[in-house]
Amino acid sequence: MSERLRADEVLRELGLRDLELLESLRQEGLFAEDELSPGEAEDLRVAVVLMSELGVNVAGVEVILRLRGRLLALQTRTERALRLLLEERRGR
């Protein structure tokens, strides 16, 4: 089982001491749990960069994270399909 990470520790790792950003995200229903899976922690890191460095608002972060998740899932499916095709071709 993967180690879970505390949301406030992820923010501290990024150099943020003020938890206001996390509270803003939580008001939109994001990162509601105190402990995050490694994937959720990565999403929080991305959200912090989007908001603090690129000026994206919370609603934009939600959309971007949802689309990012869909793209990553699609990439995984595409890679798996390509592997199966290559294995099939080698088997001939």
H-run or E-run covering 35: strand 35-36
Alpha carbons 74 and 9: distance in angstroms, whole number: 30
Handedness of CA 46, 68, 58, 34 (dihedral sign): negative
**pLDDT value, residue 91:** 84
Write the CB contacts of 34 (distance below 8 Å, at least 6 apart in sequence).
6, 7, 8
pLDDT in tens, the chain (92 residues): 569 999 999 999 999 888 899 999 999 899 999 999 999 999 999 999 999 999 999 999 999 999 999 999 999 999 999 999 999 999 86
What is the pLDDT at residue 4? 93
- Determine contact, residues 1/35, Cβ cutoff 8 Å: no
Q: Which residues pair with 28 in a beta bridge?
A: none
What's the confidence (pLDDT) of residue 47? 96
> How much is the pLDDT for 2?
65
